[in-house]
Structure 1
Amino acid sequence: MQVQIALQGNCSPLAGLCYIYSPVYMFAEIIIPLALPKNYTWEVPAAFAEKLQVGCRVEVNLGKNKKYAGVVKRLHNEAPSAFDPKEILSILDEAPVVQPWQLQFWSWLADYYMCSEGEVMAAALPAHFKLSSETVIIFNEEYGDDFSNLDNEEYLVAEALHIKHELNITEVQQILDASHVYPVVNKLIGKKVCFVWEALKQTYTPKKESFVVLNPEYSNEAKLSDLLNNWSRAPKQMELLLSYLHLMRTEGEVIKASLLKKSGATDVQLKGLVEKDILRVEKRHIDRLHYLPKDVTIDFQFSAAQQEAYEGVKKGLEQKNVCLLHGVTSSGKTHIYIKLMEEYIRLGKQVLYMLPEIALTSQIIRRLQKHFGGYIGIYHSKFSQNERVEIWNKVKSGEMKIVLGARSSLFLPFQNLGFILCDEEHDSSYKQQDPAPRYNGRDAAIYMASLLQAKVLLGSATPSLESYHNAKADKYGLVELMERYGEVHMPAIEMVDTRMVARQDGGKVMISPQLLEGIKETVARGKQAILFQNRRGYTPYQVCATCGWIAQCKHCDVSLTFHKYSNKLKCHYCGNIYPPAHTCGACGSDKLLQKNFGTEKIEEVLDKELADARIGRMDLDTVRNKNAHDVLIQQFEQKKLDVLVGTQMVVKGLDFENVDLVGILDADGLLHFAEFRVNERAFQLMEQVSGRAGRRDSNGRVMIQTSNPTHPVLQFVAHHDYTGMYAEEIEKRRMFGYPPYTRIIKVTFRHKERDVVTEAAHRFAEALHFSYGSYMVGPAEPVINRVRNMYLMELLLKLPRDGHTINRCKEDIQKHTAVLHAEKRFRNVLVIPDVDAI
């Protein structure tokens, strides 16, 4: 390797040699957003050696002509022995966009959750930071300008190239008014009219707005008065100027569009004032998101129980890095969160407030904005990519002090994070399913806090068994708040035995007479009711009364749900839509029965039974756009709706003071899953939705419809007995070897052919059996064994909580995946490990 000699420090030659060898060529380990098993290495050109920093983005070439924006993870002088590295093409950032602690966090996520750092990068960075690889066509100057041998389409593109010199594929599509342009481009390349270059395109563009400002000369009151008093012509311009002066005094800054709208003037009249050098128009960068003034306002007093819990949390966080606040529904946990957040803000620290589904929590957003104003920033998937870049930059600069976000907010570049609050920590939405990284936001937050010496508070009325077990084992601090705010009692639970209810078609009871009477009585008193059913649509499946045929998705092994409003059958797994079935697909009979019921059907029945009541529905079908959920919540808050029917969305993060009745329509449906967490999840859902009742001046009622009222979980719900449920479930987990006593890794196999995926799963299991046979369950088909035309098999590993065994198993899974893929028959079998699967 070539070297140069560089003098370090101010050493005198008499003191001895103070020269060191510094390589001319360095190398960079770079993460690119691909699922590569390990990071690739590129060579750093001498011209970049002093500029390049860890955390900067660079443009690199992989393969023949594909370009990527990668992030530099490490700079070193270790030349790869297996290949000749290519050179980095360009540096995209003057300063790092990713901080060292973030790279360490990415590395841990990739290692723990068995994915690549490229997959973590793809999830972590806003799309605009990843750039896009776009095909650019360059005109070949040597071809000349004689296009007589080209056909019409080729001629149009060649002529445009001759004028502009380069075009991207989108522009070619516009020229030809067609989407399929590659054959034309290929012909032009073959005739040497042009050649192709893969370019990386920066996709983020700052938003600009035109502001109107007064010539500083007229900031002198006397000169301005003289101008106005001696105005003789152009009355429209005078009106425009007066409108400007009014807006400037009332709003401080004047946007061109607002000025023209207020004054009713035109661009021509504004241009006249600009030409007279009275007004000037300036282009400025502005935020896409509007923020309130920054202010901290704490306008509530703690109850005695809240004060005790608050002091307990502070003490717990002094002694431990993580504390669990177990507070019953409506106990005022949010007040404690707000007070703690205020403390960290006043210390100059940043705070991350995590919620399982940010789009469903408009209420908490409004509450926090009331207390913290513009200190609050929100980060979630419904923001545009440009908006996400702006939030990213505000967090990085430290300007944004509080971030309210879903699990993806963990990837923001915090400068001075002091406190992470993980609300509703039990919620399964914290666990990412597809694609990788399949991380748990709660667990990842705890690790991230350890990197930044921050504290973590977990909050829930129904903590996960794992978190409560860690608190009981003294791994976390534990504070319990067991009384509701304002001395309101927990709601009374009534079981409605559906076996005692007459049924017309032998199907499930939708709304029992007892519940219907309760709803009518509640609405008559001016109170509100919430009905919970964890199925959307009209009917979950249709069955032929003659032969038993059920309409199924062509691509998945599931029944189709009928949606009456859109008059379509929908698959809730792959999203495919089918026309409604009027006759049996097997025997042709027209006797199709609608079995079970979803939120859409419940809404229809209530509309008939409660003619004067105002009914609302909250499910995935009614809250698809950015603000639909917030609009519905505000309607219910403002008492414009009497009854709200919904899925799990009505459970999460909602606080309604006028709700007196909650109905759980199908408790049995929550208890009949073949899954080891079924009892825990059912208890959490029912207890959470029950907690929406009686939150202010009344105790509230909860009516649970079930055919098995003596079920142990229902008895725990009836007495709001979390500790009883925990004691029973934790003992079962210990007996059968499930978390928190073990670590689970679920390996899923996918392939379009059933026999191939079955054989691959068994071959894989045989390879692991010698070392892990006693920990393995399966392989077996899951309940839904085909999704999107891919057949599935699953293998479950229940590993002891021993770091050495777990790490060795992860390595063996990766090794045997490579061995499996080496065989041609299994090359296309997807092997997907899911660590801490739920």
Structure 2
Amino acid sequence: MYAQIVFPLPFRNSFTYSVPRLLEKDVKIGTRVVVPFGRRVLTGFIIALSESIDESSSGLADKSKIKSIRDILDDQPIFDSKMLEFYRWMSDYYLCSLGEALKTIVPYGTDVESKRKIVSDTEICRSLLAGEKNKNSLKAKILSALAEKELINISYLQKIIKNKNVYSILRDLEDAGAITILNEIADAKVRVKKARYVRIALPREAIYDLMPEIERAAPKQMLILLELLSSAEDKPAAEILKKTGSSSSALNGLVSKGIVEIYEKEIERTFKENYAEEMKDIVLSVNQRKAVEELKKSNGKFDVFLLYGVTGSGKTQVYIEIADEVVKSGKNVIILVPEISLTPQITTRFYNKFNDKIAVFHSRMSLGERYDTWRGILSGKYSIVIGPRSALFVPLKNLGLIVVDEEHDQSYKQSDMTPKYNARDAAVMLAKFNDCPVVLGSATPSIESMYNAQSGKYKLIELPERIDNAKLPEIKLVDVTIEKKKKKIEGIFSNLLLDEIGKRLEKKENVIILQNRRGFATQVYCDDCGEVITCTDCTVSMVHHISKNILQCHYCGNSMPVPKACPVCGSVSLKFFGTGTQRVEDELAFYFPNAKIERVDSDSISRKGALSEILNDFRNGRIDILVGTQMLSKGLDFSNVTLVGVVSAETSLWIPDFRADERTFQLLTQVSGRAGRSDKKGEVIIQTQNSKNFIFRKVIDNDYYGFYNEELELRRKGEYPPFTRIALVEIKDKNERRARAAANDFHKYLAMHKKTINISPPNEAIIYKIKGFYRYQILARSFRNQDPAGRLLRSAIFDALTEFNRLSRHKNITLIVDIDPQSIL
């Protein structure tokens, strides 16, 4: 038997391996296997099986040279033929390998692979280094590193010498006896957890007869016996020994007498959400009932619904009702939320309805919790999975519904790793392959989704009113520039906002303050020479974090102590400019010393469970004011919040990106919607230096359609989505000249398709340098009326990639293709 295997590597072809007879009964399409790959050992995915191979097509002249599978990692397939077709679509659409697409299924830490290490003879390495004439040569750099350490990973060596082309030199050094290269197999980082359990091995009557003798001869054994007899359930050995103060020898004595026995039992690691809400009896509004009935009309078949409901209109309850129908029919549901910050509330509400049928799946869980939850999903234990974008790829069978909550949110876009998918768009395709409906919900739908709804591609369902007779909040705009002239600004706050905060605190009502920047000050600059302190590896300013008194880069993570003087001119006249969440928190504490204030941003909630604790305290009145970034704008529903303040509303408008207006409108509308979600009147105060922008008028009037129509016309004129398909090609390297030359070469190959696609010349990225890499970008687009599915665009890029990769001079250049980018920064 032979298997076709793909790997999570940038190779688009599969590889043939033979299946040992001992493994033939266990090997299946959709399972992961451990195989040799070159000099390494890797985990791959089986995508096909056959009893013979076509030697002419496989390029294998001798079957004896085909390598064998070493091991099988999965007891059952983790994807079937239907899911394989979906991952083939992902591979084709996002221009990645099938193996890279399939890797999204598997939780981190479950793969097996080899790690290559170098054992060096430091004396020989020093001797060879002394004989090198050119001390700056690649060989000299390698020898210098090997002369310092006896044991080093090849990957670490490549990192410290900043070059990947080390293998030919290492082979020469191995032949010279200076080093030995070892292959060590690294097992999976996470495994099934087991614990020793104890159970009684004899009938209780027999034990009662033995007890007088045991009590006389071994009192510690008697304590263990009494503990076991006090419960009908088996107990962990460690728990029994701790509770009775006994030693292992006492327990082993009972085992040797045949009175008890010890066995291993699997321990399931489950994620517990600390946030909790009481279950309420909910009566659907007229609009909610209409929405549920409209969703039912799909009859479980593929359809795409855009659920556009104002903030507080009860979209979550609509999800719960339709999910209940699906689960009762025997099918399963995936609920996607944009960020982990949304999971506490929505998860609790689903738990209240579905209890243990719910699985939560996200990156804040431990490796063990994610692995055990993933295995539970695979085994069919759960009916509903809730989580951010990665939850879309869980191995949930018999799918009957996918919900994408806050479908407009850019967090659904995977921007850090390959494939660079958009979970919202992938959810639509996954639903299509599973022939089930998908619901895209938002109070501020993306321009693309609303365009699809208006053109009839999606079905539009509206929830135009808030539930429980709640009214949309009154929104006031404060022009900071004018207020400063009137001397009505205190620090970063207008007098109006401070007065309104004070009134809410007197009434024991809650306040949310948004500032979409972390840290204390966003820039540190010299008042004498004008120098702004920037990151050494990125062309961005360092942000001041007052809690640790450091400057930190939010792109690469580099940090440094706050300098006492300007690094350029030596002046001590350093100024801190800009406002982050730490400064907002600090000033609020000054103006309202008796208020309990908490900050919610990625710095403050890094500890597991921290967000749930904060939200619990906020709901229960132990926190008065929440200060945070855009995390606070998403899905939080607290009836006692009557005031929302926005400190610097124009921050995202300044970003030179075609989605800047859309993101600003969405952010302000969403965060405004946190106020007045009960019978208490809500108010929103937005501070800005750019009050004449049309965005603010649309936010104040809660005029989504007015914003949509104006933005759509701007997109039409600018030739941006939804009228075009776009792809962003980024070429980067630590050598500026090499990056520029590679960008020009790729543009030359892409220009061969200029009759079918529109191509921009290579330009320096707006943030020109990140993590030491110089970045060039090429924006390619095709018009949707000529290329509705983007095939012409992807085909042109694929052809250019093929030609570009043939050039050996660009072997180590990093080239990234982002289909449907959320940002062109």
Report the TM-score, using the length of structure 1 for normalisation: 0.85
* Structure-2 residue corresponding to 1:395: 377
Q: 1:508 to 1:605 in 2, by over 3 A?
A: closer
- Quick check: 1:201 aligned with 2:187? yes
Q: Distance in 2 between matches of 1:420 and 1:216?
A: 52
Matching residue's letter, 2:267: I
Matching residue's letter, 1:33: P
Deviation of 1:684 after TM superposition, in Å, equals 0.6
Match of 1:68 among 21, 29, 42: 42
Deviation of 1:656 after TM superposition, in Å, equals 1.4
* Structure-2 residue corresponding to 1:535: 517
Match of 2:87 among 90, 102, 106: 106
SS in structure 1 at match of 2:503:
helix
Report the TM-score, using the length of structure 2 for normalisation: 0.86
* Structure-1 residue corresponding to 2:199: 213
Q: Distance in 1 between matches of 2:5 and 2:803?
A: 27
Deviation of 1:599 after TM superposition, in Å, equals 0.5
* Structure-2 residue corresponding to 1:464: 446
Deviations 1:788-811 (A, max 9, x none): 111111111221224488323323
Could you tell which deviates more after superposition, 485-494 or 693-702?
Answer: 693-702
Q: Distance in 2 between matches of 1:502 and 1:591?
A: 24
Matching residue's letter, 2:529: C
* Structure-1 residue corresponding to 2:140: none
Matching residue's letter, 1:746: L
Q: Distance in 2 between matches of 1:112 and 1:245?
A: 62
Question: Higher Cα Rg: structure 1 or 2?
Answer: 1
Q: Distance in 2 between matches of 1:268 and 1:90?
A: 40
Matching residue's letter, 2:530: G
Q: 1:499 to 1:359 in 2, by over 3 A?
A: closer
Deviation of 1:203 after TM superposition, in Å, equals 4.8
Q: Distance in 2 between matches of 1:520 and 1:559?
A: 35
Q: For the Cα contact (< 8 Å) 2:118–2:153, is it kept in 1?
A: no
Could you tell which deviates more after superposition, 40-49 or 672-681?
Answer: 40-49
* Structure-1 residue corresponding to 2:54: 78
Q: 1:50 to 1:399 in 2, by over 3 A?
A: closer
* Structure-1 residue corresponding to 2:111: 130
Q: Distance in 2 between matches of 1:448 and 1:727?
A: 30
Q: Distance in 2 between matches of 1:137 and 1:406?
A: 40
Q: Distance in 2 between matches of 1:364 and 1:244?
A: 41
Deviations 1:666-708 (A, max 9, x none): 0111222211111111111111111111112212110000123
* Structure-2 residue corresponding to 1:498: 480
Q: 1:198 to 1:698 in 2, by over 3 A?
A: same
Match of 2:773 among 785, 790, 800: 790
Q: For the Cα contact (< 8 Å) 2:302–2:436, is it kept in 1?
A: no
SS in structure 2 at match of 1:501:
helix
- Quick check: 1:708 aligned with 2:690? yes
Kindly report which structure 2 residues correspond to 1:23-172, keeping only aligned pairs within 5 A, or say none.
Answer: 27-43=2-18, 52-63=27-38, 65-76=39-50, 77-79=53-55, 80=57, 82=59, 84=61, 86-92=66-72, 93=74, 95-134=76-115
Q: Distance in 2 between matches of 1:186 and 1:278?
A: 65
* Structure-2 residue corresponding to 1:417: 399
Deviation of 1:526 after TM superposition, in Å, equals 0.4
* Structure-2 residue corresponding to 1:146: none
* Structure-1 residue corresponding to 2:647: 665
For structure 1, the 5+ residue unaligned runs are: 1-25, 139-148, 152-176
Deviation of 1:559 after TM superposition, in Å, equals 0.6
Q: 1:240 to 1:439 in 2, by over 3 A?
A: same
* Structure-1 residue corresponding to 2:701: 719
Q: For the Cα contact (< 8 Å) 1:291–1:374, is it kept in 2?
A: no
Q: Distance in 1 between matches of 2:456 and 2:254?
A: 73
Q: Distance in 1 between matches of 2:12 and 2:796?
A: 14
For structure 2, the 5+ residue unaligned runs are: 124-148, 158-170
Deviations 1:218-274 (A, max 9, x none): 1x5xx566666887525554444333333x25xx44223333344444434434444
Matching residue's letter, 2:427: A
- Quick check: 1:245 aligned with 2:220? no
Q: Distance in 1 between matches of 2:463 and 2:488?
A: 44
Q: Distance in 2 between matches of 1:643 and 1:503?
A: 28
RMSD across aligned positions (CA): 3.4
Q: 1:136 to 1:478 in 2, by over 3 A?
A: same
Q: For the Cα contact (< 8 Å) 1:359–1:380, is it kept in 2?
A: no
Deviations 1:333-373 (A, max 9, x none): 11111111111111221111111113552222222222211
Q: Distance in 1 between matches of 2:182 and 2:302?
A: 59
Q: Distance in 2 between matches of 1:635 and 1:297?
A: 18
Matching residue's letter, 1:343: E
Q: 1:359 to 1:87 in 2, by over 3 A?
A: farther
* Structure-2 residue corresponding to 1:520: 502
Deviation of 1:190 after TM superposition, in Å, equals 8.6
Match of 1:740 among 713, 718, 722: 722
Could you tell which deviates more after superposition, 704-713 or 815-824?
Answer: 815-824
* Structure-2 residue corresponding to 1:324: 306
Q: 1:504 to 1:541 in 2, by over 3 A?
A: farther
Q: Distance in 2 between matches of 1:813 and 1:520?
A: 57
Matching residue's letter, 2:795: E
- Quick check: 1:561 aligned with 2:536? no
SS in structure 2 at match of 1:380:
coil
Deviation of 1:553 after TM superposition, in Å, equals 0.6
* Structure-2 residue corresponding to 1:835: 819
Q: Distance in 2 between matches of 1:419 and 1:568?
A: 47
Matching residue's letter, 1:69: T
Deviations 1:128-162 (A, max 9, x none): 44212146999xxxxxxxxxx999xxxxxxxxxxx
Deviation of 1:612 after TM superposition, in Å, equals 0.5
* Structure-2 residue corresponding to 1:429: 411
Matching residue's letter, 1:723: Y
* Structure-2 residue corresponding to 1:697: 679
Q: Distance in 2 between matches of 1:685 and 1:291?
A: 30
Q: 1:186 to 1:626 in 2, by over 3 A?
A: farther
